[in-house]
Homo-oligomer: A and B are copies of this chain.
Amino acid sequence: MSTDGEPTKAGAAGYRVAEGCTLRPREGVLVLSDIEIANAAAMDRITDVGRDRLGIPEEHLVPYGHHKAKVDLRYLATLEDRPLGKLVLMTAISPTPAGEGKTTTTVGLTDALQGLGHRSMACLREPSMGPVFGMKGGAAGGGYAQVVPMTDINLHFTGDFAAIAAAHNLLSALIDNHVHHGNELEIDVRSVTWKRVIDLNDRALRDLVVGLGGIGNGYPRQDGFDIVVASELMAIFCLTESWADLKRRIGDIVVGYTRSKAPVTARDLGAHGAMTVLLRDALAPNLVQTLEHAPAFVHGGPFANIAHGCSSVVATRAALRLADYVVTEAGFGADLGAEKFVDIKCRKSGLRPDAAVVVATVRALKYHGGVDVPELATEDLDALELGMANLRRHLHNIREVYGVPCVVAVNRFPTDTDAEVARVVELCAAEGVRAFPARHFAEGGVGAEDLAKGVLELLEEPSPHEFGFTYDDDLSLTAKVEAVAARLYGAREVTWDGKARRRLERIEADGYGALPVCIAKTQYSFSTDATLRGAPSGHELHVREVRLSAGAGFVVMVCGDVMTMPGLPRRPASDHIDLADDGTILGLS
């Protein structure tokens, strides 16, 4: 993907190709696009990947074509007594327009671990289809570190998002239907917070009035569509453990309030059973492979701002029973994705990361040091040193707050100078953290071999830290936000909109005070100002809005603008996406 780095010149000139990787650059063409690489991939049958790499008998794989499969949940339940593998969390510095390459590094590290003879596995989020036709493109890694089949994964895949959308929208329809047929529950339609969803970028649906056209069409009210990844149902899906747990959580969803301000749940509307039926098959994790045939679960994909931004607990837990090393990615930088991985996903599931890898690039560090995009190709050791402040704070948070041992992956770009890369390694060493340059984008797994060895070494050492959460359950919601702001963001204080404060009080009064918080703020800065690069301190964290996700089990603190329905650009990517007469998909990136 465009933000995931490019092949190194060395790689492009004399491609070293990982063993087991059947790809070669086309003659005379030095740089292939992601889709060219992916379309040329010689994939193993997924039943072979499951059997040979993970020991899953064929009858427990539910195939979706020859290269995707779901692993039967009933089979996974039989593995409960197996020891768990080591869990490696892939996180990153604060994202920049320069690109970091977290998914790519997750895939590269998994391939490298496999190349070293280990049973390894990646756990990734499913890409949203909307951005594929918009600006961002897909999200299945890039270069020679991809999961395949790339076009399938980026489009309908195994139908999980469609299932989540159907279940979400069934609840929406049941709300309006209930009101239309007499409103027994006395729902105050002005208070309905459960919107509708679609897996497209469509700004026209952000804000609308439904129920027009007269009596037969129900009561008009203001409503809106979010993109599917923003659905609370997506977060529930990714935090749940079983069908029974899924149904319970769905029942707990608060869709709005009665005229006397009591919460109305999906259970009150009798919607939870049918919604769970719609998600039955989707809940089984999706097995695919990397270009080097390492197994990967790609399952679930909640936003990393209004939700927790991690792939499913079901997939992570299954992977830990099937493989010795599991690499999983959290969204955005370590202040958002890793924090939520720890404080939401780990807290709720009991999962614990054994180590973390923090992805950084020379370009991104220079950007954090004040260099703007057009100048990023020029060597600048001073800016690099300044930008280290960002990485340094993330390292501190991961080790001292979450208590997780970590290494740094320096994802190399062609414009990086050797001096710059050496300086990053040196500066990390000064922090007591090993950093490993990696060339998996251009070289596949062998390009991340040093990184893999570093991770294995780290996993062998006794951890000097003790795993912990940023805050305890029994703090008030306010104190929880304050803990995150002070301990992780370097903020001076937390301030509140009056409306947010009142909503918070209502939520605590309704009995949701023991939930963890999920902070939605810009991913580009430790502050709420996207332009403050590096490691700003002493700023104010202003909570503009508070939202309850009672089914997922967290309270969202919205700090700044959060877009839950993207738009399309003037020239959307769909302009160039096409199907050749022989069925080849062209132009997807």
Contacts and interface: CB of A to CB of B under 8 A. Distances in A.
Interface stretch (A201-209, A359-367, A409-417): A201-209
Interface string A139-183: 000000000000110011001001101100110111011001110
Contact of A243 (B74, B170, B581): B581
Nearest to A152: B281
Contacts of A209: 208-209, 212
Contacts of A568: 173-174, 177
A133 interface: yes
Interface in A251-289: 270-271, 273-274, 276-278, 280-281
12 contacts: A63-B63, A133-B274, A177-B572, A180-B204, A181-B570, A196-B205, A203-B217, A205-B210, A207-B217, A208-B210, A273-B574, A280-B579
B198 A169 contact: yes
B203 A574 contact: no
A427 interface: no
A555 B387 CA distance: 64
Contacts of A583: 73-74, 243, 280
Identical chains in the assembly = 2
A129 B274 CA distance: 12
A244 interface: yes
Nearest to A63: B63
A574 B202 contact: no
A577 B156 CA distance: 26
A73 to B, nearest CB: 7
A464 interface: no
A207 to B, nearest CB: 3
Contact of A155 (B196, B277, B575): B277
Interface in A530-589: 567-568, 570, 572, 574-579, 581-583, 585-588
A468 interface: no
Contacts of A170: 133, 200, 574
A65 B62 contact: yes
Given A173-B204, A280-B583, A574 B271 contact: yes
B156 A176 contact: no
Interface in A182-198: 182, 196, 198
Given A204-B218, A281-B156, A270 B579 contact: no
A169 B204 contact: no
A270 B575 contact: yes
A354 interface: no
A274 B207 contact: no
Interface string A228-245: 000000000000001110
A67 to B, nearest CB: 10
Contact of A572 (B151, B162, B174, B278): B174
A4 interface: no
A200 B169 contact: yes
Interface residues of A, number: 81
Given A65-B63, A208-B212, A579 B273 contact: yes
Given A163-B156, A198-B169, A212-B208, A244 B63 contact: no
Interface in A46-77: 59, 62-66, 73-74
Contacts of A28: none
A57 to B, nearest CB: 13
- Top 5 closest pairs, chain A to chain B, by CB: A207-B213, A273-B578, A162-B162, A274-B574, A176-B204
Given A169-B200, A198-B169, A574 B270 contact: yes
Interface of A: 59, 62-66, 73-74, 129, 133, 151-152, 155-156, 159, 162-163, 165-166, 169-170, 172-174, 176-177, 180-182, 196, 198-213, 216-218, 222-223, 242-244, 247, 270-271, 273-274, 276-278, 280-281, 567-568, 570, 572, 574-579, 581-583, 585-588
A202 B276 contact: no
A166 B173 contact: no
B276 A579 contact: yes
A201 B217 CA distance: 12
Nearest to A184: B570
B247 A579 contact: yes
Given A62-B65, A208-B208, 15 more contacts: A63-B65, A63-B66, A74-B583, A162-B165, A166-B200, A177-B202, A177-B203, A177-B204, A204-B217, A204-B223, A205-B210, A207-B212, A274-B574, A274-B577, A277-B579
Contacts of A177: 202-204, 567-568, 572
Given A217-B207, A218-B203, A274-B133, A66 B62 contact: yes
A578 B213 CA distance: 33
Contacts of A133: 170, 274
Contacts of A65: 62-64, 281
A173 B566 CA distance: 11
Contact of A204 (B152, B210, B572): B210
Contacts of A572: 174, 177
Nearest to A66: B62
A126 to B, nearest CB: 14
A570 B174 CA distance: 10
**Which of A567, A583, A585 neighbours the largest number of chain B CB atoms within 10 Å of its CB?**
A583
B66 A166 contact: no
A206 B278 CA distance: 23
A306 B553 CA distance: 45
